[in-house]
């Protein structure tokens, strides 16, 4: 597990932008089964989370255009049981962090694995997500 003093500022980067922190299995299950659209980012301490995933997700929800109704996050290596439950909703994809998932009415409809994030700019991540919002939100 990562130390709290390392993780909390990374969590805050998203929660300060309106993302709900899913730190328990129960919160994950409730959030991902809601009717409507839910964005989930499995946050991480890695460089691609800091450089692309978090900034890209934030950029994707700013400004005009369609957006998910619910914004959620959980943290790999810290919210152990919550992340385990989240990953059960991401089958058949293997565990990946960071990763970004869009759910519609409890069904996974769009997913970015680490290899879709790593080496891509925040703007590219945002554009990918905005295209998914246009289709599913």
CA-based Rg of the chain, rounded to a whole angstrom? 13
Q: Which of 28, 48, 90, 100 is catalytic?
A: 48
137 is catalytic: no
Instruction: Please say whether the beta carbons of 14 and 43 come within 8 A.
Output: yes
d(CA 57, CA 126): 6
Sign of CA dihedral 72, 88, 98, 6: positive
d(CA 42, CA 73): 6
Q: Which of 46, 80, 109, 137 is catalytic?
A: 46
46 is catalytic: yes
**Residue 60: which of 19, 8, 1 has the closest Cα?**
19
Residues designated as active site: 46, 48
């Amino acid at each position: 597990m990562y130390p709290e003093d390392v993780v909390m500022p990374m969590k805050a980067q998203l929660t300060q932008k309106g993302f709900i922190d899913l730190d328990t299995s129960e919160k994950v299950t409730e959030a991902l089964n809601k009717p409507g659209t839910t964005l989930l980012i499995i946050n991480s301490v890695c460089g691609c989370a800091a450089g692309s995933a978090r900034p890209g997700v934030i950029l994707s929800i700013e400004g005009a255009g369609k957006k998910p109704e619910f914004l959620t996050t959980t943290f790999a290596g810290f919210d152990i049981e919550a992340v385990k439950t989240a990953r059960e909703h991401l089958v058949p994809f293997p565990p990946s962090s960071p990763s970004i998932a869009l759910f519609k009415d409890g069904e996974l409809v769009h997913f970015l694995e680490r290899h879709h994030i790593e080496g891509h700019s925040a703007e590219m991540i945002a554009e990918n997500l905005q295209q998914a919002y246009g289709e599913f939100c």
